[in-house]
Amino acid sequence: MSFIDKIRLSSIWEKEDEFTTSIRKLTGYKPKNIDYYKTAFTHKSESKLSDKGGFINYERLEFLGDSLLDASITSFLYHHLPNSKEGDLTQMRSKIVSREHLNEVGKDLDLVSLAKRPSSKRKFSYNAYGDLFEALIAAIYLDRGFDVMDKFVHKKLIGPYVDLDKLQGKISSYKSLFIEWCQKNHYDYAFDVFEDSGKDHEKHFGVKLSVNNEIISKGRSTSKKKAEEIACRRAYYSLQDKGMKL
């Protein structure tokens, strides 16, 4: 870019507000309708009613962005893994668009810094990084169409984060893998909650994982689902150490 071009671009940005400039830098283009992006970065606690009576926040855009990401990633996998079966492609897609993965992308892009903060003193949850990324995807789609959105996904998600060779060996759910192993070998398994402590917003659950009535691992987290996943992950590595393959 020439010196003259930089001067012209600088003069354009001076006419924009700070948020619009940030979106321009993030996406690489000037938004046609900045309202889509403002909505994408508005927390539900800051919601206002639209003319049609609906709440203006990122939740609806998050819903749309979730489906758009699935479509974009599905197309990518279909063309780059021509010999993979449907089930394998589904597993690969779930790994790429997992909440953990999207949170990582959203955090690296520092999306929370663009968000309209909650009125209360509560901070955004960690999952907000992924939520905002999905909402941003939807905003780009509504503002610029599928092709531009798809290019953004390739630039910000697929290019920097997706290594097909590594992902093909990554376990997306230890619980699913463990249950499949038990069913294949006709083992009985059970998850039993042994602890439920703390206040509602700080509850922790302890889960015992048993196979054929024998406890083989335990997990503890802020939800039963997470505790079960942790217990299965520990069981997986414990069995691997004993020479058993799941």
Given the residues 46, 66, 70, 195, the one annotated as active site: 66
Spatial contact of 41 and 65, defined as CB atoms under 8 Å apart: no
Contact partners, residue 149, CB within 8 Å, separation at least 6: 68, 72, 137, 140, 141
Q: Catalytic: 14?
A: no
Place of tokens 């539900």: 44
User: Residue 176 half-sphere exposure, CB side, CA atoms within 13 Å?
Assistant: 5
Spatial contact of 64 and 36, defined as CB atoms under 8 Å apart: no
Given the residues 134, 143, 228, 229, the one annotated as active site: 134
Q: Catalytic: 195?
A: no
Q: In this structure, which amino acid lies at residue 66?
A: D
Tokens of 64: 């749309």
Spatial contact of 36 and 58, defined as CB atoms under 8 Å apart: no
* Helical residues (DSSP H) of the chain, grouped into ranges: 3-14, 18-27, 34-40, 58-80, 86-96, 99-108, 128-144, 146-153, 159-161, 164-167, 174-184, 224-241
In terms of residues, how long is the chain?
246
Active site amino acids: 66, 134
